[in-house]
Amino acid sequence: MSTRKLILTALLCGVLIIGAGGFKLWQTVRDGNEAILLALGTSATVGEMTARVYGVEVNSERTLVLVSLFGVDGANAQDGWKLLSGGEVSEPVSLPAGSGTECTTTALTVETVCTIAFPVSKGTRTVAYSRAGEQQQWATGK
């Protein structure tokens, strides 16, 4: 093969690669993968679990989130919850005595209403629940 044919082939391959990259970028922009924030009190199905966040209260010891879950029998009701605040992600911590009903296990048809505690947080808070590769988020307005 001559040098001229090799250069033309390389240029053609480069143009095809740039075209494929541009097409993929266009697809990514079109997908609209932005997070949807649910309002407090709105229920959402995450995996096979139906979850709802009723409210958030911040005191000197903890950030307390009142939630409800149903749809899976015997699952740990505290698993999958996170608090997003100030660019940080917080995991649940122990619930102080007298601060609400501790989250234990869920039921298939009976709604489990309980309180999940997180470390004290500052700024705007978003409560997230993940299960089976899916996630929903609730805006707390605080």
One pLDDT digit (tens) per residue for the chain, 142 residues = 789 999 999 999 999 999 888 888 877 776 665 668 999 999 999 999 999 999 999 888 899 999 999 999 999 999 999 999 888 999 999 998 888 899 999 999 999 999 999 998 888 899 999 999 999 999 987 6
Torsion of CA 89, 94, 98, 102, to 10 degrees: 90
Q: What is the CATH number of the domain that holds 88?
A: 2.60.40.1240
Domain count, the chain: 2
State pTM to two decimals.
Answer: 0.74
Whose structure tokens read 């922009």? 29
Same domain, 84 and 25: no
Same domain, 83 and 22: no
Whose structure tokens read 């996630």? 135
Range of the domain at 87: 37-139
Same domain, 42 and 28: no
Same domain, 68 and 91: yes
Same domain, 26 and 43: no
pLDDT of residue 89: 93
pLDDT of residue 103: 92
Same domain, 101 and 53: yes
